[in-house]
Amino acid sequence: MSSKYFPYSEHICHHVFNKGGCNFCSFHLMKNCVSATPVPIKQMIQHFDAFISDQKNYQDILKNGRLSVEPQGSWFLEVPKGLRHHIYRFVEFHGLELHSQCRATLTNKKKVQTALSISMKAKYGPDFDRDLLEKNVQATLESFKTELKPYMLISTGLEVANNDDLKLINKGCQLSDFVSFSRFIRSGGAKLGANVLMAPPLVLDSVRKALKTAQYAFDVLKASEIMVVSCIPRIGSLGHALWRQGKWNPISATESAEIYWMIKDWYPEKTVKLDTMRVYCFHGKHGLKIKTEKQKISARKKVRKIAQEVFTSS
Ligand code: SF4
């Protein structure tokens, strides 16, 4: 029971479908729990209505003043228009915030068109026809802007603010996509959120990169809030295979907590959240294990030193 809603749908993140997804993501396994055939809008709306008619869910939503929608992908691309508008009516009626997420390639007409044409045509056949696949793409993308409202917070998976690392993790987005996406969200009056990944697979100097990514999210993208996430081995992902072979060690709980506190200290006026569900509490499978109090003190000191360097550099 919660204020988080997971739509019932046949959609799955188009990046997983087309390009195998990001190297830490195991969303492809979710194929087992999305519908194999298209779900009619009416049924999707019934599913949402059933969720909010549960008293515990409803009370949680009201208590939090927020509804979080967690689609298997992007709010605008994997949640159909009919359901989006149904949810807008619900949150507006109750004066709630609406939180969801979206890939930053949304504002890139060519990337959206390519991605959707591959996944939709594979699923529905060559005759499949939607505005987004035809000449109306630009108009449809612009129409999304009219849906943006001050009560919305749309988060994007920034992960690591470095173009080479974004390629390494197979993000399929570059920093220019994030800049353009952030302008799009904010110019529509909504708030921007960004996920910052701590130590994703293949990314070196991960403490510094996480701090720099938080800095980029706030200073360049003007995000209102960030979610700092410890990257863990997810079954079926490249990261999981690397971890099993001893080639990738997720960040320790000590370092991840210190990164979180450092960001909070440097950005006291911003919202910084920690995804505690993903903190890798075993302190990694390989390499140096941070176990003793002495090791923890030393690890915290190192993070603080790097934070000082990152946040005081111009
Ligand atoms: S964009 Fe998000 S859902 Fe899609 S593959 Fe990457 S992490 Fe997974």
The per-residue pLDDT for range 42-71, each reduced to its tens digit, is: 999 999 999 999 999 999 999 999 999 998
Q: Is 103 in the pocket of ligand 1 (CB under 6 A)?
A: yes
The per-residue pLDDT for range 229-242, each reduced to its tens digit, is: 988 888 888 888 88
Average pLDDT rounded to a whole number, residues 76-98: 94
The mean pLDDT of the chain is 87
* C-alpha span between 288 and 85 (Å, rounded): 50
Average pLDDT rounded to a whole number, residues 182-210: 96
Q: What DSSP string runs through 1-40?
A: --SEE----S---HHHHHH---TT--GGGGGGGS-SSPPP
Q: Is 233 in the pocket of ligand 1 (CB under 6 A)?
A: no
Per-residue pLDDT at 276: 65
Q: Is 27 in the pocket of ligand 1 (CB under 6 A)?
A: yes
Give the pLDDT band of residue 1 (cuts 50, 70, 90). Answer: very low
Instruction: Tell me which of 14, 16, 79 to substitute to probe ligand 1's pocket, judged by most ligand atoms within 8 Å of the beta carbon.
Output: 16
Per-residue pLDDT at 221: 98
Which atom in ligand 1 lies closest to the alpha carbon of residue 25? 8
Task: Using alpha carbons, select from 258, 273, 191 the residue that is nearest to residue 227.
Answer: 273
Per-residue pLDDT at 214: 98
Average pLDDT rounded to a whole number, residues 21-36: 77
**Ligand 1 centroid to 16 CA: how many Å?**
7
Cβ density class 25-61: b for 16+ within 10 Å, e for less: bbbeeeeeebeeeebeeeebbebbeebbeeeebeebb
Which atom in ligand 1 lies closest to the alpha carbon of residue 27? 8
Q: Is 111 in the pocket of ligand 1 (CB under 6 A)?
A: no
**Ligand 1 centroid to 136 CA: how many Å?**
26
Nearest CA to ligand 1 atom 8: 25
Per-residue pLDDT at 262: 98
The per-residue pLDDT for range 199-252, each reduced to its tens digit, is: 999 999 999 999 999 999 999 999 999 999 988 888 888 888 888 888 888 888
Instruction: Tell me which of 9, 27, 195 to substitute to probe ligand 1's pocket, judged by most ligand atoms within 8 Å of the beta carbon.
Output: 27
Q: Is 157 in the pocket of ligand 1 (CB under 6 A)?
A: yes
Give backbone dihedrals phi and psi of 266, rounded to 5 degrees, phi first.
Answer: -80, -20
Q: What percent of the chain has pLDDT over 70?
A: 87
**Ligand 1 centroid to 194 CA: how many Å?**
13
Cβ density class 241-280: b for 16+ within 10 Å, e for less: ebbeeeebbbbbbbbbbbbbbbbbebbeeeebbbbeebbb
Give the pLDDT band of residue 130 (cuts 50, 70, 90). Answer: low
Amino acid at 89: R
**Ligand 1 centroid to 301 CA: how many Å?**
33
- Indicate if the pLDDT at residue 284 is higher than 60: no
